[in-house]
Structure 1
Amino acid sequence: MSRKDDITGKGALNGYRSSKSNNKTKHRFQLNLQKRRFYVPEEDRWITLKVSAKTVRTINKKGISAVLKDARKNGTLIKEV
């Protein structure tokens, strides 16, 4: 499985690390992914999603139902568990 957010679809970024002597080495900046279970009361079921910490904050703010509705509207497929 790829290291992507199930809701937003965001993945790792590429960049460089810079030493004190300003030498550059390639580096991948990974997302802070968490595997979380969310209860969706409208569907009366639990879903397991691999989401970033930022997406968890968004879910806490808007609610899981609103976030899932926006994700489905944008074309993201939410897998069944």
Structure 2
Amino acid sequence: MAKVCQITGKRTQVGNNVSHANNKTKRKFFPNLKTKKFFLESEGVWVSLKVSTSALRTINKKGLEATLVDAARKGTLAL
């Protein structure tokens, strides 16, 4: 699976390693993703999501239901 957060849409970014001699080589910046299971109370089922740690904080703050609705509206949610 791709390294993409299902809530925020964060994905791998590309940049450069820059040495002391100012040589540049390509590198990747990976998002801090965790696979986490959440209990969706309205449906009564467990949902497994690949989320970034910042998305975990958003879920804790707003709740799972509201966060899923926002992610579906943005188009980042892929269940």
Q: TM-score if structure 2 supplies the norm length? A: 0.88
How many residues of Structure 1 are paired with residues of Structure 2 in the alignment?
Answer: 79
Report the residue type matching 1:8 in the other structure: T
Map 1:1-80 to 2 at 5 A.
Answer: 1-79=1-79
Q: TM-score if structure 1 supplies the norm length? A: 0.86
Q: How far apart in 1 are the matches of 2:78 and 2:49?
A: 8
Unaligned runs of 5+ in 1: none
Moved over 6 A (4+): none
Instruction: Check conservation: 2:6, 2:51, Cα contact below 8 A.
Output: yes
C-alpha RMSD over aligned residues: 1.3
Percent of counterpart pairs with the same letter? Answer: 46
Unaligned runs of 5+ in 2: none
